[in-house]
Chains A and B, each alone.
Chain A
Amino acid sequence: MSDRAVRPLELAEAQPACPACLRRGFLVGLLSARIAGVLDSRERNPGGLLALSDDDFVRAVAGPDRDDAERFLETFDAAEARHGLEYQGVEAVCQHSRRYPARLLQLVDAPRVLFLAGQVADRLPGLARGPAVALVGTRHPSPYGLEMARSLGRGLARAGVVVVSGLALGIDAAAHVGCLDGGGSAVAVLGGGPDVPYPRTNRALHSQIARAGLLVSEMPPGSRPYRWSFPARNRIMAGLAEATVVVEAAEASGSLITSDFATDLGRVVAAVPGEATSTRARGSNSLLRAGAAVVNGVEDIVEELFGVGNHPEVREPGTNDEPVDPVSRVVLAAVEAGTGVDGACRSAGLPANEVRAILSRLEESGNVRRDALGAYTRAAP
């Protein structure tokens, strides 16, 4: 990294966050527990709080910590803070930097400073200026939802679109995994500091994204997330992305908060149709009824973003194509019907060993997927 030639423009852009913005960023971190105390548990959305000026913000939330907060504002040492960030491998980019994602500024309460970790130099320009899509959904997905999230993540990555999600369990994680799988730019927006993997279950994914993608947060490093951090995080996701795609969401899902923000910002809102009988998809299905775009595959998202026919190269040729030979098709149909290897033996009229071998080849070509306990499912095209 260090021996890379530095162009003048980059030099200008790499200027550090200005002291006032940096101070505000750390102030939010300092008072995050107090914000949790001020917000009514029903009204979890921090709403206007984060848009207040420093003094008003302190007055509104600090409570007993007010003296501490005011002392912090007076004694904040930007140089020392920058030094600390450098030590932690976190970069701060403030609203006044040209590197700050312009789309985010549309939010009335846009974060004054973003704390970034991971491949900042490589990935931030793409997020700030390139096409970006937020993939969100339930933490308790169906196998179908997971498969769609993974497949959309991978497809968007191959189409050169940045995939933004929230590192939550379920759909979020699958979207990240799919994006990394497709060699794309995975952006995780976190409720806590960018260096704090939450939920802990996804810490391996967190470090994968740190190696290949970008970790974004408005909270300084080391901060733990609070309940209010998640709707606040969702507004950033909606703000960063040109389109928000809800893969699977129940009726009162946090993903719908993200899509509400996206609607307010006038961005594209789309949803993947789910089973009509499934409670897990009730929220996303009602979005569709309310007029969200229907997403059956990556092509639909790409069309929404770039217009019909403007961005043809979505699929990598050669992989995951429909198999041509009739026996493979029969086996594939049996997998789709959920009748397992036995069902495939019956409908193809073949012994189990041949069906196993065929399934194994279909797995290799990406037409079926096999879970840890050996169950086969049809992979999304």
Chain B
Amino acid sequence: MLASVATFALNGVDSREVTVEVDVRRGLPAFSLVGLPDASVREARERVRAALLNSGLEFPLQRITANLAPAWVRKAGPSFDLAIAVGLLAAGGQVPPESLSDTALCGELSLGGALRPVRGTLAAAMGARTAGYRRTIVPEANAAEAALVEGLEVLAVPTLTRLVDLLHGRWSPDPPPRVAWPPPEVQGGPDMADVRGQTDAKRALEIAAAGGHNLLMVGPPGAGKTMVARRLPGILPPPSFQEALEITRVHSVAGVGSGGLVSERPFRAPHHTVSAQGLVGGGSRPRPGEVTLAHRGVLFLDELAEFSRMALEALRQPMEDGHVEIVRGQSAVTFPARVMLVAACNPCPCAQPARDCSCGETDRRRYQRRLSGPLLDRMDMVCQVAPPPAAALVGAGPEHVERSSAIRARVMAARAVQLGRLEGTGVNCNADMDGRLSRLHAVVDSGSASRLVGSVESGALSGRGHDRVLRLARTIADLDGRAAVSRPDVDEALGYRIVTPSRAAA
């Protein structure tokens, strides 16, 4: 007897349909698996045999051949277990084959017959819907994730025994709960109100969040750079449902999510020893890197100067294009990577506060040169972070300190203005405006213009830096709710400009 069952294999953050064909016929008892399975897929034979027998089902002592089609694509991972087991049941007449029409399944089996969760269920469910399947059978732990896909019936099954009951029509699971959108406000994350002092850094973060600008924070260790940066997701606008789906899909593929819809923007802070592959993704079977895990959220690079040159160079394409393309001998995959980059570093190699610094100008220059290059070129703002004075740390502090929610409200208002202004241009925040759009939307008065011209002429500002100051000034005006960019906006924006060290020499 022959049976075929549909399942989905992961390819980057997308999925590819795989048909599992199982043939059972008389012959010497054997179980062979073909169609380029890797070691983890081949092991499915042992799990399937034990799971069937332990569930009180029959494992045919006949010649069994399972084929994973298309046969030229390499298959990896344990998510084919369920489809192979069900194919075997259908081929042996233990479940009615017609009950499998229009159904895609995926799941890992335990030896006892329970269904274990797998990575990438959301991607698989999206693939199933696109391919025209009406229902999908998934392990219980993955049900919430699969249920995010509209127009697809999700059947959450705990064990193989239950699955047989389901296919015979003797049992049906409760439909998985629908997610509430928008999600209820979650209180209790790190809040800006907990930060003492640091008015300057807070302001810089607010501007960065409002316009989607990349930010470099410079300060001695212990000044609070990391603490402030960790509060950035709390002031960013919450993701839209579409963005939340994107985030969930990436996290599900990487196996880092909790299983449900991710309604907060991610914050990733890889250690500075991360390799280029770790940062942008890679491996012989490409896995998403940190920049992809931070998709639609914040990538925080602490101790920027300590990152390897290779790793930072590799960030170029994702910073420019918003995605990473990884080509390996077998395949090419694309991972999404639209992030807001926040980096922190010490002002000089000795990492002491300015008063105790013992670094010579040459040491500083050399250190700053390590930072320079492609990444500094993508930074829109730089701000210095100093440790707050003791008086600000001790005691209850001033009674009125803004909470993250208040800042977030301003940021969202500014973003709404930008969305309205940039409608139809394919750009959705000030930071992504090109030179033409910046000049169109950030018109400055003559006083500001002459100051900008002066800065460019004296070499303090490059042509690219000039556009960057315009974008920043636009965001500052948006935050303030003003339609026109005024002189103080330009002055403030100039105060955040970043100068590549070669231009700042002597």
B492 near A342: Cβ-Cβ < 8 Å: no
The answer to the question of B331 belonging to the interface, with a C-beta cut-off of 8 Å to chain A, is no
> Looking across the interface, which residue of chain A has its beta carbon closest to that of B367?
A373
B361 near A169: Cβ-Cβ < 8 Å: yes
Partner of B203, one of A139, A141, A352: A352
The answer to the question of A372 belonging to the interface, with a C-beta cut-off of 8 Å to chain B, is yes
**What are the residues of chain B within 8 A of A346 when measuring CB–CB?**
389
Which residues, 447 to 506 on B, are CB-close (under 8 Å) to A? Answer: 451, 454, 476, 488, 491-492, 494-496, 498-501, 503-506
CA distance A327 to B351 in the complex (A): 31
**What are the residues of chain A within 8 A of B499 when measuring CB–CB?**
370, 372
The answer to the question of B27 belonging to the interface, with a C-beta cut-off of 8 Å to chain A, is no
The answer to the question of B354 belonging to the interface, with a C-beta cut-off of 8 Å to chain A, is yes
A139 near B199: Cβ-Cβ < 8 Å: no
The answer to the question of B384 belonging to the interface, with a C-beta cut-off of 8 Å to chain A, is yes
B202 near A372: Cβ-Cβ < 8 Å: no
Partner of B384, one of A173, A358, A374: A374
B354 near A375: Cβ-Cβ < 8 Å: yes
Partner of A341, one of B355, B360, B384, B498: B384
Given A342-B386, A343-B386, A364-B451, are A205 and B203 neighbors across the interface (CB < 8 Å)?
no
CA distance A355 to B200 in the complex (A): 9
Partner of A372, one of B388, B389, B496, B501: B501
B197 near A357: Cβ-Cβ < 8 Å: no
CA distance A352 to B199 in the complex (A): 6
The answer to the question of A339 belonging to the interface, with a C-beta cut-off of 8 Å to chain B, is yes
B361 near A353: Cβ-Cβ < 8 Å: no
**What are the residues of chain A within 8 A of B503 when measuring CB–CB?**
372
Q: Which of B199, B496, B506 has the most CB of A within 10 A?
A: B506
A342 near B200: Cβ-Cβ < 8 Å: yes
**What are the residues of chain B within 8 A of A43 when measuring CB–CB?**
none
CA distance A352 to B381 in the complex (A): 15
B200 near A361: Cβ-Cβ < 8 Å: no
Q: Mask for A144-167, Cβ within 8 A of B = 1, else 0?
A: 001000100000000000000000
Given A140-B362, A340-B386, A342-B386, are A353 and B476 neighbors across the interface (CB < 8 Å)?
yes
**What are the residues of chain A within 8 A of B506 when measuring CB–CB?**
146, 150, 173-174, 177, 205
Given A174-B506, A374-B383, are A342 and B496 neighbors across the interface (CB < 8 Å)?
no
B491 near A360: Cβ-Cβ < 8 Å: yes
> Looking across the interface, which residue of chain B has its beta carbon closest to that of A342?
B200
CA distance A358 to B494 in the complex (A): 11
Partner of A360, one of B361, B495, B500: B495
Which residues, 291 to 343 on A, are CB-close (under 8 Å) to B? Answer: 338-343
CA distance A364 to B488 in the complex (A): 13
The answer to the question of A135 belonging to the interface, with a C-beta cut-off of 8 Å to chain B, is no
**What are the residues of chain A within 8 A of B388 when measuring CB–CB?**
342
Which residues, 409 to 457 on B, are CB-close (under 8 Å) to A? Answer: 451, 454
A339 near B386: Cβ-Cβ < 8 Å: yes
A356 near B362: Cβ-Cβ < 8 Å: no
**What are the residues of chain A within 8 A of B361 when measuring CB–CB?**
140-141, 143, 146, 169-170
Report the minimal beta-carbon distance from A151 to chain B, rounded to whole angstroms: 13
> Looking across the interface, which residue of chain B has its beta carbon closest to that of A355?
B200
Given A352-B199, A353-B492, A356-B491, are A372 and B504 neighbors across the interface (CB < 8 Å)?
yes
Chain A interface, DSSP helix/strand/loop, else mixed = helix
CA distance A250 to B282 in the complex (A): 52
**What are the residues of chain B within 8 A of A143 when measuring CB–CB?**
361
**What are the residues of chain B within 8 A of A355 when measuring CB–CB?**
200
Q: Mask for A340-352, Cβ within 8 A of B = 1, else 0?
A: 1111011000011
B362 near A139: Cβ-Cβ < 8 Å: yes
Report the minimal beta-carbon distance from A173 to chain B, rounded to whole angstroms: 5
CA distance A339 to B297 in the complex (A): 32
The answer to the question of B340 belonging to the interface, with a C-beta cut-off of 8 Å to chain A, is no
Report the minimal beta-carbon distance from A57 to chain B, rounded to whole angstroms: 36
Report the minimal beta-carbon distance from B484 to chain A, rounded to whole angstroms: 16
The answer to the question of A204 belonging to the interface, with a C-beta cut-off of 8 Å to chain B, is yes
B368 near A342: Cβ-Cβ < 8 Å: no
**What are the residues of chain A within 8 A of B500 when measuring CB–CB?**
372
> Looking across the interface, which residue of chain B has its beta carbon closest to that of A173?
B506
Report the minimal beta-carbon distance from B433 to chain A, rounded to whole angstroms: 21
Partner of B492, one of A139, A356, A364: A356
Interface residues of A (CB under 8 A from B): 139-141, 143, 146, 150, 169-170, 173-174, 177, 204-205, 338-343, 345-346, 351-361, 363-364, 370-376
Interchain residue pairs with CB less than 8 A apart (23): A139-B360, A143-B361, A169-B361, A174-B506, A177-B506, A338-B354, A339-B389, A341-B383, A342-B198, A342-B199, A342-B386, A342-B388, A351-B203, A352-B202, A353-B203, A356-B495, A358-B491, A359-B495, A363-B494, A372-B501, A373-B347, A374-B383, A374-B496
With A170-B360, A340-B386 given, name 13 new contacts (CB 8 A): A141-B361, A170-B361, A177-B506, A205-B506, A338-B354, A339-B389, A342-B388, A357-B495, A360-B495, A361-B491, A373-B382, A374-B382, A375-B347
Interface residues of B (CB under 8 A from A): 197-204, 216, 218, 345, 347, 354-355, 360-362, 368, 382-384, 386, 388-389, 451, 454, 476, 488, 491-492, 494-496, 498-501, 503-506
